[in-house]
Homo-oligomer: A and B are copies of this chain.
Amino acid sequence: MAGRRTDTRERIQQVALELFAERGYDKTSLQEVAERLQITRPALYYHFRTKEEILTGVIERLVESIEELVAWGRQQPATTEARLEILRRISGLLSDQWRPLFRFAQVNQGALEHHPKGERLRGCVISLVSLLCVPGESAEKQFESRLAVLAVILGNLPLLFGSESDPETDLNEVALRVATKLVTGEQPDE
Interface flag for A113 (CB, 8 Å) = yes
Cα distance, A132 to B26, chains bound together (Å): 36
Which residues on A are within 8 Å of B, measured CB to CB?
Answer: 23-27, 106-111, 113-114, 122, 125-126, 129, 135, 139-140, 142-144, 146-147, 150-151, 154-155, 159-161, 163, 165-166, 169, 171, 174-175, 177-178, 185-186
Q: Say yes or no: B24 contacts A111, CB within 8 Å.
A: yes
Q: Say yes or no: A106 contacts B109, CB within 8 Å.
A: yes
Q: Which residue of B lies closest to A161 (CB)?
A: B146
Cα distance, A165 to B27, chains bound together (Å): 40
Indicate how many identical chains form the complex.
2
Q: Say yes or no: A163 contacts B139, CB within 8 Å.
A: yes
Contact for A174 among B23, B143, B163, B169, CB less than 8 A: B143
User: A23 contacts which chain B residues (CB < 8 A)?
Assistant: 114
Q: Say yes or no: A147 contacts B139, CB within 8 Å.
A: no
**With A110-B111, A147-B147, A174-B143 known to touch, is A159 a contact of B122 (CB < 8 Å)?**
yes
Cα distance, A151 to B141, chains bound together (Å): 13
Q: Which residue of B lies closest to A186 (CB)?
A: B186
* Sample (18) of A-B pairs whose CB atoms are under 8 Å apart: A27-B114, A107-B109, A108-B110, A110-B110, A122-B159, A125-B160, A126-B159, A129-B160, A135-B165, A140-B178, A142-B163, A143-B151, A143-B155, A143-B174, A143-B178, A144-B178, A147-B147, A185-B186
Q: Say yes or no: A147 contacts B151, CB within 8 Å.
A: yes
Report the minimum CB–CB distance from A181 to chain B (whole Å).
Answer: 8
Cα distance, A169 to B114, chains bound together (Å): 28
Report the minimum CB–CB distance from A186 to chain B (whole Å).
Answer: 4
Report the minimum CB–CB distance from A22 to chain B (whole Å).
Answer: 10
Q: Say yes or no: A160 contacts B110, CB within 8 Å.
A: no
